[in-house]
Amino acid sequence: MHTTMHNIRVLIVEDDPTSMNYLEIILNKEGLEYKTAADGREGLQVFKEYKPHIVLSDLNMPHMSGIELLSAIKRIRPQTIVIMLTAFDSEEYVIESMRYGANNYLKKPILRENIIGLLRKYKAVLFARNEYQKIHNFIQTHSFSMSFDSDIRQVPFIINYLIEEIDSLFKEDEAMGIRLGLDEIIVNAIEHGNLEISYVEKSYAIQEHRFEELLKSRKNDPIRGKRKVSISFEYTKEYCEWIISDEGQGFDPDSIPNPITSNSSEMLHGRGIFITRFQFDELEYLGKGNVVRLRKRVKQSS
């Protein structure tokens, strides 16, 4: 077990030894602390003792399925980030795991850059989240707008500010889902909207370990680099709503591929939007596709 990198704990639950070894190599290289379990039943026991921040779980396992493990994890510690690993291509299995609270999924064979991308994203979210305390005063009514440069590094801290406004209104698992969904949409607004980095360009850049170089190049572009992202937030007693806009050329939302039916060798194109739809009650593209409206209903306490 590797034990560095700021105490972010990961649990791998996988019954296939080859897949387990592959995941361990990746986590070791990332410097992440982790433990392993060979099936769902063992995974649940380790989870209770280890209290990981992130769980990577196979879907089809003996003794206890990935769905059963996921359901148990979300009952015990709902803010845990769970990534399902599946060899199934059926939409049914993916949607079922999302309904039970999975935060993301990856289809086998899993590309190293795909899982590293998710782990780094969620690690940044968890680090930023732990730097702030929850709001204890119930929000009555509130609205504001903000605008910022296309700098990926500041996104976790912007999301912290956004979450501070609503954290006390939602259960921990719902707040984490909102946090991850906002991260997906804001990063898309910067990378694909303002900086005009296509999914293909991003995929190749990640594979060739030059994505940071690509970001820097686009940020230094005299036109793309000056574009901003704007966010308008509104809270009422019925809902919270975020409208996120970029200054890019826009796109046709219908062109986003279905991540369930797409080839497993493809990158995460479309998967983030698919996942985000499960975190909010409404997700709508407006205008020419460079404005996204997200809404989450507020459950009234009895």
**pLDDT value at residue 111:** 87
**pLDDT value at residue 300:** 67
pLDDT in tens, the chain (302 residues): 333 345 789 999 999 999 999 999 999 998 899 999 999 999 999 999 999 999 999 998 988 999 999 999 999 998 899 999 987 666 788 888 988 999 999 988 888 888 998 998 898 888 766 554 344 345 566 789 999 999 999 999 999 889 887 877 888 889 899 999 999 999 999 999 999 998 889 888 888 999 999 999 999 999 999 999 999 999 988 899 999 999 999 988 877 766 666 554 444 556 778 888 889 999 999 989 999 999 999 886 54
Say if pTM beats, i.e. exceeds, 0.75: no
**pLDDT value at residue 296:** 96
Given the structure tokens 């592959």, which residue do they identify? 22
Token digits for 75?
A: 């009952």
**pLDDT value at residue 302:** 44
Question: For residue 71, which of 107, 100, 111, 93 has the smallest C-alpha distance?
Answer: 100
**pLDDT value at residue 127:** 76
CATH of region 142-297: 3.30.565.10
Question: For residue 113, which of 180, 185, 209 has the smallest C-alpha distance?
Answer: 209
Domain ranges of the chain: 9-129, 142-297
Given the structure tokens 């594979």, which residue do they identify? 207
Helix (H, G, I), strand (E, B) or coil at 268: coil
Q: Which strand (E) or helix (H) includes residue 164? A: helix 155-164
Token digits for 245?
A: 């806009």
Side-chain-side CA neighbours of 109 within 13 Å: the count stands at: 5
Q: Which residues pair with 146 in a beta bridge?
A: 231
Q: Distance between CA atoms of 20 and 25, rounded to whole angstroms?
A: 9
CATH of region 9-129: 3.40.50.2300
- Residue 266 DSSP class: S
Question: For residue 269, which of 199, 207, 182 has the smallest C-alpha distance?
Answer: 199
Question: For residue 288, which of 249, 257, 243 has the smallest C-alpha distance?
Answer: 249
